[in-house]
Structure 1
């Protein structure tokens, strides 16, 4: 135990001695690039050519040097062994659930496994059936299930898998009853989008090549429509810049298409990019096979819709940060979308940010954050009233409604001191009951001694930065304890509370874990995100320091 705790002291000593290490020689080759009339010199650009044996050799030398230093850290092997033992205590991880025609489909990863297998069951409590094992499908290859969509009768399922997480999936179609794949094989692709309502075709994103090193491979992608049982060479360019040049779709974005049972009267399309604001289109479902769809704008960038959109009949609900830095919930209609005059369902809160929405048969479930913990509210679709839904305990909550023909939703809760645990909540009664799938692990008693303290610390410019501190009960907080700081602040992603067994194993040995909530995340809303964005990006690392 003492040797493991010494890992951090030795790491600090190792950092201090880095200057004494003999690094592999790195040559300098002058190269230039001109962007927008400005020429930039880069003496190390040659290191980007991974086809050059000299570059490969340089990286191997760097790796060998790193291994030689890390291998000398006392207690490292014991710590790794402990982490492996902790991993075996974790229950199976269930994710990616989809409900169709009474069947529940999901990916399950057992303790110690690197990739999950695809299963289904008849109802939540039915027997489990293995559909696809990516570890045995192609001998000698490590495959990963990227995505999957059952058709509306749950008789076939489209599965996208790639080798070693390459994110360029093959899409194949399986007969669920026989568990056999049909001859269809779509490749290269960048996403599976679902089935048409007649169960005869699938929509997917097609890209030029499967070579991730090719900068042209993902430019001008297309959503294509594939009729099951036909040659993919004949797949229809359903939505792209080529098929709809009047939309002026940028070559770098992913044009996507969605069909949903929440409203089967329309086709929904959009442009996917790193920009968080939605840019979406809508058209009548009657135009699906017209060959030239008359798209109408559903959401423009200046509507500032982000984080979630739900369809309930003709009503469409969406989160917006327009004139609301902590976000608000709006509602308009699909038949006549008008976000500028939309109804405000949930006004902006001063002390909480609206994080996400989902819906059941009669309710919208709203997730708010106070910067650290989640707070749930429900909006009654019949009465228009909003009330609080009290969670079993404080923490970060993730909510979804697997079957929105009922009022049962799933809420997964975790915190700095409690492992992820799932509950089913009845939105009529607000009663939480343990979910039958993802259960909390049974950990050693020492993990009950975790203490959490939330404070704020003055930043370089006087801004108060939230700081989460996790330590073992009884620890003397006198500045003499080893400390691990861990943070992230970009793309509006917050450092929300979540139990990490590896970091927690250090805490119970006397290490203090500190999580600064730096600007660039969205712990305090859109303003907090933009305060660590582009020209204000230095605030992110200054907050950390």
Structure 2
């Protein structure tokens, strides 16, 4: 896109520790009051006694959070090897990480983290090969929880606007600098959300936001996006409203500017799927011309060449196609890269187009010219995920990354004309890929659908059903889970653990049909796919119920919550992370209503309400059932999936759990939905996850 706009080190002994059993049987959870509250949907009454936990500003909610946090902290102090795991994670994490360079103006920029820095630092190198720090997010706050959320340079590279997120919030601030001398210009732009910054020459830039909500900024509904233009040298209070508000009400909007500065593109949507698209031709001084109206399709601008505009779309192409059209005849779309049997994504750089095809969640890359003629098929280092191949037209040296579950992410330099690749940056991680296996299998879901799954583990592992296994997935929002290395998973596998990722429906691995196969009235397909993955692993002796943990975040948190309430006997441990867990009320908070394409809402129809209620985790916790040992994970500043989801689910589980398996809730402070966490926060959370999983699976000690 050319617009400015995430065990041999020590041995494990399998045993159920007596201290653990005693502690679990004697668990006395913090008291959680119940206040009678009933909602009625289509004549059906639904009790919601923990509704009061939705008020994050209330004193009793804050008191409950503190008592639960103290309870969880106390439980974790009793896990004998927790600090040892933290030390192992800290050790493997401590390596230099350098990102691919990118050019802006007279400088080449790159991100680098020395190893354990809270946030990565942005450096730059000038033409004399002198390198200096450009932005150090570690100085944004004393505890490392203020992060760099985005950065945008103007065409000349002499001006820059960067966004910061405080405590992981989606509400950002934009700071404007003279890029040459790094001096701040203009006041800080406040209260910006879900926005890029798109420069128009040296005049200023476009950005998007919502009116500041009444009440809690972390939970209040935001559904009317507005696009503004900030002119340099003026106050934010006089920024011009370009579009938005009640006369053009859309939940998400943004303007991008073409690299040649000729076109402005407006994309607008009411949900996370489907968008309207408009173009303004600045050369001919037109108003916004509609290119796509309604919300049936996803179309995004890729590049422009003179009068021609290039876009990627799923219109008449469920697996995506690249089209072009002339601004003088914008209704006639011509294929540049037709749809194929594999899902397409596109990048541009060096005067070429790069077609990234996803086949069974693995990457292949073709290089083409702007007429769609094949230049070459690019040879990748192996089976995995490749990304990058982007840059300006005159930039012949491009960069791409390659990774999979057992290959640390390596950056390659690529000559766009010759097609020659060479290693640019190979991380020095304390991990030997030759000692591990990452295999792809296909299993059958409940309705007969074939599902791919990657299973990664250390060579020589015995398939005896006793291997600690993390089953992780997502299953929604057209998001594809492609193989990627993680030092957390490395520690897990190094110590005899298995990491398994099924590419279940709801994702984008096989295009629109795969996504739509896991939405609304098809949503239970997602859970059945996940359950079938667990059953496959157990049937084939990779693991067994007593050694399996279910894990997922956000929509994946819903996946775990729904699976553990549908099939509480499937796994020993469950990690619903920052999950959407109250499906009857998710659309009442922040931008939640925008997820309706995937979920539907309880107000849509009686049928939709009954379907949501039938799997909604909060509404399906039952007394007399033994649920897995559960660590519910959330953050106090999560203003995307508000913590109330996790609060209510944990309260229900603690009230109704019928066996000794513990139910804990881990609440990170000064953190949001996930992005921008400090290194220490990430290590701390994963130390707790791995140690809790092993402890509940009966690991007595680590040698």
Q: Is the 8 A contact 1:7 1:73 kept in 2?
A: no
Change (3 A) 1:12 1:466: farther
CA RMSD after TM alignment: 3.1
Q: Which residue is 2:258 aligned to?
A: 260
Instruction: Say which is worse superposed, 16-25 or 470-479, in terms of deviation.
Output: 16-25
Q: 2:462 aligns with which of 476, 482, 489?
A: 476
Over residues 52-87 of structure 1, what are the superposed CA-to-partner deviations in whole Å (9 max), with x where a residue is unaligned?
222222222222232233332342221110110001
Which stretch of structure 1 is more off in the superposition, 366-375 or 105-114? Answer: 105-114
1:204 aligned residue: 207
Alignment of 1:393-408 (within 5 A): 393-408=382-397
Answer yes or no: is 1:316 the counterpart of 2:309: yes
Instruction: Tell whether the 8 Å contact from 1:9 to 1:482 is kept in structure 2 after alignment.
Output: no
Aligned to 2:192: 189
- Structure 1 residue runs without a partner (length 5+): none
Which moved further from structure 2: 19-28 or 469-478?
19-28
Find the aligned partners of 1:94 and 1:230 in 2 and give their Cα distance: 35
**Aligned: 1:59 with 2:56:** no
2:330 equivalent to 1:337: yes
Task: Find 1:48's aligned residue among 29, 48, 54.
Answer: 54
Give the whole-Å Cα distance in 1 for the aligned partners of 2:394 and 2:61. 57
Sort the Cα spacing of 1:152 and 1:308 in 2 relative to 1 into closer, same or farther, 3 A.
closer
Q: 1:544 to 1:303 in 2, by over 3 A?
A: closer
- Pick which of 28-37 and 185-194 moved more: 28-37
- Describe how 1:6-85 pairs up with structure 2 within 5 A: 6=12, 21-33=27-39, 40-85=46-91
Deviates more, 1:180-189 or 1:317-326: 317-326
Secondary structure in 2 matching 1:337: strand
Tell me, yes or no, if the aligned pair for 1:207 and 1:221 is still in contact at 8 Å: yes
The alpha-carbon deviation at position 388 of structure 1 amounts to 1.9
Distance in 2 (alpha carbons) for counterparts of 1:8 and 1:270: 55
Matched with 2:699 is: none
- What residue ranges of structure 2 are gaps of 5+ in the alignment? 1-6, 532-703
Identify, as 1 or 2, the structure richer in helix. Answer: 2
Deviation at 1:167, TM superposition (A): 2.8
Corresponding position of 2:492: 506
Match for residue 230 of structure 1?
234
Does the 8 A contact of 2:117 with 2:138 survive in 1? no
What TM-score do you get using the length of structure 2 for normalisation?
0.68
Deviations 1:348-374 (A, max 9, x none): 323x221x2111243210100112310
**Partner SS state of residue 209, structure 1:** coil
Alignment deviations for residues 362-387 of structure 1 (CA, whole Å, 9 cap, x no partner): 32101001123100012222573464
Cα 1:102–1:178 change in 2 (3 A) is closer
The answer to whether the Cα contact below 8 Å between 2:279 and 2:289 also exists between their aligned partners in 1 is: yes
Greater Cα shift, 464-473 or 320-329: 320-329
Q: Once the two structures are superposed, what CA deviation does each residue of 1:296-315 show, in whole Å capped at 9, x if it has no partner?
A: 11233467234763323332
Matched residue, 1:215: 220
Within 2, Cα distance between the matches of 1:286 and 1:314? 10
Indicate the SS of the match to 1:342. Answer: strand
Are the aligned partners of 1:446 and 1:508 in contact in 2 as well (CA < 8 Å)?
Answer: no
Structure 1 residue matching 2:383: 3-state secondary structure? coil
Query: How many Å separate the matches in 2 of 1:70 and 1:453?
Result: 34
SS in 1 for 2:330: coil
Q: Are residues 15 and 471 of structure 1, via their aligned partners in 2, closer, same or farther at CA, if it must alter by over 3 Å?
A: farther
Change (3 A) 1:414 1:275: same
TM normalised by structure 1 equals 0.86
**Structure 1 residue 132: deviation in Å?**
2.7
Q: Secondary structure at the match of 2:70?
A: helix
Deviations 1:112-156 (A, max 9, x none): 122233333236x93322223333356678422222222233222
